[in-house]
């Protein structure tokens, strides 16, 4: 009887641990995917510079019923701007660039190469600095740069132009509307310019090549980020959305807008970048304290929340200048993405989907609120560091599905009656990573099946601690008290 009681209580403690650690994330996320009609999602979380959680849900390719795994690459959309800002700040730290450097005109970094004789640079444009481009205070306003009122770099008028041609075309058709530094207005065009600034300051002829070979790989150990294009690349997910929005935000446009919206990456690789610029000690920082302070400065433009490569810099309410949070959102057809750094808790996360959550910006906010609420409710973070496991298994490529480079970037399922696509992978943990960094993906038994998610290392630790406590109570305390 005593042994049966011990076994029963041990089993109950295992179930309690599972419900406490595993269920909230997996149940909440799979429910979110179902209710928001999202095809696939990948999430990575770091605590104190340690990768403590990486998991994927739903489908990388719904037609093939291929589940997402944690190595799959997604379009990061405007998180590309944060990557570009990192490239700029690295050049600043090297002394090859200054935030105060002007961009246009005889003394500017880009000189007069984009000046149109019939429509020369204005006095305001000659004063635009690198900082102005980074924090969206250049004076360029989308709605005022063309008669259509939309983003000038996504117009059909320049769909056959390369990056350099797009800049010339935009400056020929429109000019800045405000003195630089006075008005904040989100500008993809500004980051397209920053790509050219990086090329000029680095002496490279290609922004993407420079970033991959001179910044991401050697400094951040990120070797799998790339610029997306009209065809899916190796280990890239398929994308889903409304057919009415297929143009002009398809892959061929992303390739030409690389510095503003073109990067594809896994959330784990995004976190490798974030945790190497956060000032914590567990991972070596790429930036020194001065450079890091500059990158997280909030714009001084009136009403602005922008930072250098960030949509929102949250500072303390006592005017002490302490940065509490930095976040960047990405939004394209087929994509919602977030990169968030919380300096109050030392928690950073990257999350991305392969279908845009509707409606519009409200959908993006829903995604951030989901992950913020999950993170806020964690009281005991795992002590492991999955970055170490990723490093040991780097170079090994394992995928759960064939990735054809001939597939379209966007698939439409506007009339889908699918009730659930949320197939959760196992949480990545060292015990289940013998050959790759991807999670084991359980196969769904039916179209509506919700496979039991795997157990995280945190869950395993909790189970172990609970078991030890019960063993003590029933093997030591119980006999002493009652026998």
Question: Is residue 415's pLDDT more than 50?
Answer: no
CA distance 258 to 81: 9
Report pLDDT for 14.
30
Question: Is residue 465's pLDDT more than 50?
Answer: no
Report pLDDT for 135.
97
Residue pair 366/37 in contact by the 8 Å Cβ criterion: no
Report pLDDT for 160.
75
Question: Is residue 151's pLDDT more than 70?
Answer: yes
Question: Is residue 429's pLDDT more than 80?
Answer: no
Residue-range domains of the chain with CATH: 79-376 (3.40.710.10)
How many CA within 13 A on the CB side of residue 102?
A: 15
Confidence at 78, pLDDT banded by 50, 70, 90: very high
CA distance 438 to 440: 7
Q: Give per-residue pLDDT as tens, 346-391.
A: 999 999 999 999 887 899 999 999 999 999 999 889 999 998 877 6
CA distance 48 to 377: 17
Question: Is residue 292's pLDDT more than 90?
Answer: yes
In 3D space, the residue among 166, 182, 176 whose CA is nearest the CA of residue 253 turns out to be 166
Terminal alpha carbon distance of the chain: 14
Residue pair 243/355 in contact by the 8 Å Cβ criterion: no
H or E element in which residue 32 lies? helix 2-35
Compute CA distances 318 → 302, 312, 324, 326, 346, whole Å: 18, 18, 12, 18, 21
Q: Give per-residue pLDDT as tens, 44-65.
A: 999 999 999 999 999 999 999 9
Residue pair 400/438 in contact by the 8 Å Cβ criterion: yes
Confidence at 305, pLDDT banded by 50, 70, 90: very high
In 3D space, the residue among 346, 357, 477, 437 whose CA is nearest the CA of residue 49 turns out to be 346
pLDDT mean over 336-342: 97
Question: What pTM, to 2 d.p., does this model score?
Answer: 0.80
H or E element in which residue 374 lies? helix 360-376
- Identify the weakest region by mean pLDDT among 4-13, 154-163, 321-330, 416-425: 4-13
Confidence at 100, pLDDT banded by 50, 70, 90: very high
Question: Is residue 312's pLDDT more than 50?
Answer: yes
pLDDT mean over 318-326: 80
According to DSSP, the β-strands at 410-411 and 239-240 are parallel
Report pLDDT for 460.
38
CA dihedral of residues 337, 145, 120, 139 (deg, nearest 10): -60
- What mean pLDDT, rounded, does the chain reach? 78
Q: How does DSSP classify residue 215?
A: I
Confidence at 258, pLDDT banded by 50, 70, 90: very high
Tokens of 364: 């993006």
Residue pair 430/384 in contact by the 8 Å Cβ criterion: yes
Question: Is residue 457's pLDDT more than 60?
Answer: no
pLDDT mean over 127-135: 98
In 3D space, the residue among 482, 392, 403, 386 whose CA is nearest the CA of residue 439 turns out to be 386
- Residue 342 β-bridge partners: 325, 347
Q: How many other C-beta atoms can be found within 10 angstroms of the C-beta atom of residue 247?
A: 14
Confidence at 299, pLDDT banded by 50, 70, 90: very high
Residue pair 265/145 in contact by the 8 Å Cβ criterion: no
DSSP 320-369: S--EEEEEEEEEETTEEEEEEEETTTTEEEEEEESBPPSSHHHHHHHHHH
Tokens 């970094």, residue?
109
Compute CA distances 268 → 86, 190, 230, 233, 437, whole Å: 17, 27, 24, 18, 10
Confidence at 154, pLDDT banded by 50, 70, 90: confident
Residue pair 306/329 in contact by the 8 Å Cβ criterion: no
CA distance 416 to 211: 39
Tokens of 35: 């209710």
Q: Give per-residue pLDDT as tens, 194-226.
A: 999 999 999 999 999 999 999 999 999 999 999
Report pLDDT for 438.
29
């Amino acid at each position: 009887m005593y042994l049966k009681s011990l076994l029963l209580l041990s089993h109950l403690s295992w179930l309690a641990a599972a419900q406490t650690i595993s269920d909230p994330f997996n149940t909440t996320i799979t429910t979110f995917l179902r209710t928001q009609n999202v095809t696939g999602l990948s999430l990575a979380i770091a605590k104190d510079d340690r990768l403590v959680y990486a998991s994927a849900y739903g489908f990388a390719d719904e037609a093939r019923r291929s589940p997402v795994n944690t190595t799959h690459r997604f379009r990061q959309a405007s998180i590309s701007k944060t990557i570009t800002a990192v490239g700029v700040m690295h050049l600043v730290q090297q002394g090859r660039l200054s935030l105060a450097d002007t961009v246009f005109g005889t003394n500017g970094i880009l000189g007069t190469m984009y000046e149109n004789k019939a429509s020369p640079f204005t006095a305001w444009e000659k004063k635009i600095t690198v900082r102005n481009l980074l924090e969206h205070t250049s004076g360029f306003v989308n709605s005022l740069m063309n008669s259509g009122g939309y983003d000038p770099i996504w117009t059909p008028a320049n769909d056959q132009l390369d990056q350099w041609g797009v800049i010339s075309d935009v400056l020929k058709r429109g000019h800045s509307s405000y003195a630089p530094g006075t008005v904040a207005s989100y500008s993809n065009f500004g980051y397209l310019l920053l790509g050219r600034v990086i090329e000029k300051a680095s002496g490279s002829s290609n922004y993407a090549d420079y970033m991959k070979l001179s910044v991401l790989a050697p400094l951040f150990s990120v070797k799998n980020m790339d610029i997306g294009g009209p065809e899916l690349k190796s280990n890239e997910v398929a994308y889903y959305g409304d057919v009415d929005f297929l143009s002009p935000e398809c892959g061929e446009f992303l390739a030409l807008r690389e510095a503003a919206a073109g990067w594809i990456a896994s959330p784990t690789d995004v976190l490798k970048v974030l945790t190497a610029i956060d000032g914590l000690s567990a991972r070596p920082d790429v930036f020194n304290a001065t450079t890091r302070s500059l990158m997280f400065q909030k714009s001084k433009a009136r009403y602005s929340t922008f930072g250098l490569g960030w949509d929102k810099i949250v500072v303390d309410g006592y005017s002490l200048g302490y940065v509490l949070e930095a976040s960047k959102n990405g939004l394209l057809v087929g994509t919602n993405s977030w990169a968030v750094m919380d300096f109050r808790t030392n928690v950073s996360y990257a999350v991305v989907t392969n279908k845009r959550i509707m409606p519009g910006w409200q959908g993006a906010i829903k995604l951030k609120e989901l992950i913020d609420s999950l993170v806020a409710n964690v009281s005991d973070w795992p002590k492991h560091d999955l970055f170490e496991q990723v490093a040991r298994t780097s170079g090994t490529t394992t995928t759960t599905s064939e990735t054809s480079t001939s597939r379209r970037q966007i698939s439409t399922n506007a009339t889908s009656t699918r009730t659930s696509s949320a197939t959760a992978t196992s949480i990545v943990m060292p015990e289940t990573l013998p050959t790759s960094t991807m999670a084991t993906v359980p196969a769904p038994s039916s179209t509506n099946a919700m496979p039991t998610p795997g157990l995280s290392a945190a869950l395993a630790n909790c189970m172990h601690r609970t078991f030890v406590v019960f063993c003590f109570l029933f093997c030591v305390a119980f006999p002493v008290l009652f026998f």
